[in-house]
């Protein structure tokens, strides 16, 4: 029976709506204590003096850790990363303060209330030093990072004679686009429960997107064999990249539990999620484009400057889409960093590609207007038939069909080219569009499938469900291979005792874990066939199992493997007040094989909503005098709510991709946000005639 593709309800849905799904803070342990972090109120300097006596006198307080008494970590110490994906941590190893909101103490008590009270009594005197959280003063000192987001991506890339082609082009534009700091603000705060057993064995319940990388990083920092650390994450209340790396609070919780000799649970407060656990970096992107009067692109230059911290390096690789999205003979992209006194930025939904497509797709819109060409026709004129970076064929590319279907559904043919041409009462109406694109990543993964005596199948893999439906789609993959109803398959995840899989990031879980589950289920089916078992019945107590491994093949590397899409947006801007609202969104996507039509639509819609937030609402604001975030809560960090979002129309151009991976899927988690902000921004221009190049597009910037 066919299971893949069906829009079945989430298999974990009942557990979630009845409260049976256990998130990190829902777990407990015998004699569990509670921890609360104290974080710095300065952005740079030293902790000159810290007095914990009043805190320690509170009944029930067990431990107060500071730089003066925290366990010393043996090399590799906290300021050495385990991998390019790891972040440098601040683990009370010295008195330095690198950014506001940095952990400077941990209080452990019998109750959460006592821990919070004790934290309020800790007295701190700082030796502050001059700080700067701004990008602009450091532009002259910007430097080229080690790589553009990943070790396999060079910071600078050039093909052709970009400068010469731009100079010779009859039509040219040069524009600067900026995006602000954006914070993940997942519904579930970061949290960890640490419990030691037999002195050197550690169990962590952690809100993490990568239980296996988490185990390796914690073991490295605490000087433990990786097999001595077990990480469990059964459910995640959103991650969006923030819960991919291991952060300081995770290791500090383990350190506190070891000192207290009791299990310890710690959850960050909402304000503590601003700076300590990553955010999307601010970017300044300069786009220079040359084109012929017939619309053919001659050259493109995309220069990105982003911010990182003074003690770590993270690059928001915004230039990547400019390297591959359009057929341009001459392209130059560069990435530079400015060091400032902030917490280290990190992966945020579609890192690099979300801000990069905003700038590129707005610049494409501006270039289309410069040569008086329809923006969609301009993109089709420069459609890339092969991967421009290397000349490889695409594994499969249905972007042209996405444009066609999206334009038909949206009614693009009725759009007047001139801005301010559509009006409805006091509202200026605008229509904009943009291209979506994201790489189809895959990493090695493994899975185990077991036929149980009752005729049901248990499939296991040590992956994570961010809330996007991993439990459900993996159940469907296994059921499809075995010819079973999904109700006869159980998928188990979230424990490092299960087969190893990669971090759930880069939209790679469906492809990576899905291929491993497919391999395990196939191996089980073949084993049953060899044993002559056709009725799924086994003797009592007998279990038959098979393991599956999946890794990217050499063949996959010979193709350009990307997911694509086209997004169309309608906005209404009040002519007198300057308030902008999105009133229609249409997205059509080439996402390969769709494993579950319902979860796929949810995932893409979530990305598109993020794009609306990026365009109109989201920005993390610093008080530059103090170096501190001033809107570190949901009251003032604005994200779209139901009232801000119209019906989101989503369609798929589903075709079988024979080259991308064995099950033909492409990740969707990040595709939906790419291009979305540009579609909204382009619609705002079409409505008002005013081009806003600095996100978010606020009333002040429109008036």
Token pair 């960093």 in the structure block, residue: 337
Cβ contact 53:69 at 8 Å:
no
Cβ contact 648:550 at 8 Å:
no
Environment class of residue 374 by beta-carbon count within 10 Å: exposed (0-12), middle (13-18) or buried (19+)? middle
What distance in Å separates the CA atoms of residue 189 and residue 267, rounded to the nearest whole number? 7
Active site residue 670: yes
What distance in Å separates the CA atoms of residue 600 and residue 282, rounded to the nearest whole number? 29
What distance in Å separates the CA atoms of residue 496 and residue 202, rounded to the nearest whole number? 12
Ranges of beta strands (E only) in 182-273 are: 191-197, 201-206, 229-232, 264-267
Strand partners of residue 445? 550
R_g (Cα) of the chain, nearest Å: 26
What distance in Å separates the CA atoms of residue 653 and residue 487, rounded to the nearest whole number? 29
| Residue 110 neighbours by CB under 8 Å, 6+ apart | 33, 34, 60, 62
- Count, in order, helices (H) and strands (E) of the chain: 15, 26
Q: Which of 271, 275, 273, 313 is nearest to 87 (CA)?
A: 313
In this structure, the dihedral spanned by the alpha carbons of residues 384, 389, 394 and 398, taken in order and rounded to 10 degrees, is -40
Cβ contact 476:451 at 8 Å:
no
Cβ contact 451:524 at 8 Å:
yes
What distance in Å separates the CA atoms of residue 243 and residue 239, rounded to the nearest whole number? 5
Please pick, among 556, 570, 670, 700, the residue that the annotation labels catalytic: 670
**Torsion angles phi and psi, residue 5, rounded to 5:** 95, -25
Name the maximum alpha-carbon separation found in the chain: 79
CA terminus-to-terminus distance, the chain:
59
Strand pairing category for 622-623 and 544-550: unpaired
Q: Look up residue 194 and give its two tokens.
A: 């640490």
Please identify every residue annotated as catalytic: 670
């Amino acid at each position: 029976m066919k299971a893949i593709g069906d829009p079945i309800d989430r298999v974990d849905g009942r557990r979630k709506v009845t409260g049976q799904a256990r998130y990190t803070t829902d777990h407990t342990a015998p004699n569990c204590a509670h921890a609360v972090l104290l974080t710095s109120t300065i952005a740079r300097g030293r902790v000159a003096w810290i007095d914990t006596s009043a805190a320690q006198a509170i009944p029930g307080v067990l431990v107060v850790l500071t730089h003066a008494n925290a366990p010393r970590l043996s090399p590799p110490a906290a300021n050495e990363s385990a991998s390019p994906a790891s972040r440098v941590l601040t683990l009370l190893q010295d008195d330095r303060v690198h950014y506001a909101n940095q952990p400077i103490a941990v209080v452990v008590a019998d109750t959460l209330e006592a821990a919070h009270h004790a934290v309020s009594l800790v007295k701190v005197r700082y030796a502050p030093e001059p700080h700067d959280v701004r990008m602009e003063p450091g532009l002259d000192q910007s430097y080229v990072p080690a790589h553009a987001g990943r070790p396999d991506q060079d910071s600078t890339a050039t093909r052709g004679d970009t400068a010469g082609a731009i100079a010779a082009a009859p039509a040219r534009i040069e524009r600067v686009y900026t995006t602000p700091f954006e914070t993940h603000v997942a519904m579930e705060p970061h949290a960890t429960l640490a419990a030691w057993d037999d002195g050197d064995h550690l169990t962590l319940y952690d809100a993490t997107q990568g239980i296996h990388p988490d185990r390796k990083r914690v073991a490295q920092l605490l000087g433990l064999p990786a097999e001595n650390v077990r990480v469990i994450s059964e459910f995640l209340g959103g991650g969006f990249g923030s819960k991919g790396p291991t952060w300081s609070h995770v290791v500090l919780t383990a350190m506190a539990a070891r000192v207290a000799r009791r299990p310890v649970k710690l959850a960050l407060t909402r304000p503590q999620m601003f700076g300590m656990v990553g955010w999307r970096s601010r970017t300044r992107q300069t786009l220079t484009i040359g084109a012929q009067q017939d619309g053919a692109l001659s050259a493109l230059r995309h220069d990105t400057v982003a911010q990182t911290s003074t003690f770590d390096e993270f690059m928001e690789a915004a230039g990547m889409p400019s390297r591959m999205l359009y057929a341009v003979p001459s392209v130059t992209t560069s990435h530079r960093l400015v060091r400032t006194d902030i917490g280290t930025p990190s992966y945020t939904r579609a890192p690099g590609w979300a801000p990069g497509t905003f700038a590129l797709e707005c610049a494409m819109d501006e270039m289309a207007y410069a040569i008086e060409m329809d923006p969609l026709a301009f993109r089709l004129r420069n459609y890339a038939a092969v991967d421009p970076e290397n000349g490889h064929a695409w594994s499969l590319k249905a972007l042209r069909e996405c444009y066609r279907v999206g334009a038909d559904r949206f009614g693009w043919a009725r759009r007047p080219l001139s801005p301010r041409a559509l009006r409805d009462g006091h509202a200026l109406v605008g229509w904009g569009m943009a291209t979506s694109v994201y790489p189809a990543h895959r990493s090695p993964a493994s899975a185990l499938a077991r036929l149980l005596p009752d005729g049901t199948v248990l499939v296991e893999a040590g992956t994570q469900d961010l809330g996007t439906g991993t439990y459900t789609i993996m159940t469907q993959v296994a059921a499809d291979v075995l010819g079973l109803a999904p109700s006869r398959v159980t998928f188990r995840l979230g424990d490092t005792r299960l087969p190893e899989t990669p971090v759930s990031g880069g939209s790679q879980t469906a492809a990576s874990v899905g291929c491993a589950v497919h391999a395990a289920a196939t191996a089980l089916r073949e084993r049953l066939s060899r044993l002559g078992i056709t009725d799924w019945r086994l003797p009592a107590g007998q279990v038959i199992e098979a393991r599956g491994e999946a890794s990217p093949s050499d063949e996959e590397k010979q193709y350009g493997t990307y997911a694509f899409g086209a997004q169309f947006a309608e906005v209404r801007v009040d002519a007198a007040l300057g308030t902008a609202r999105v009133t229609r969104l249409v997205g059509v996507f080439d996402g390969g094989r769709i494993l579950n039509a319902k979860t796929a639509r949810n995932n893409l819609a979530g990305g598109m909503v993020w794009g609306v937030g990026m365009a109109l609402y989201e920005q993390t604001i610093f008080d530059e005098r103090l170096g501190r975030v001033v809107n570190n809560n949901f009251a003032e960090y604005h994200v779209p709510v139901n009232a801000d979002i119209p019906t989101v129309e989503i369609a798929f151009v589903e075709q079988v991709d024979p080259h991308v991976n064995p099950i033909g899927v492409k990740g969707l988690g990040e595709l939906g946000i790419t291009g979305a902000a540009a579609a909204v921004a382009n619609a705002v221009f079409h409505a008002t005639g005013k081009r806003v190049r600095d996100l978010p597009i606020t009333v002040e910037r429109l008036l």
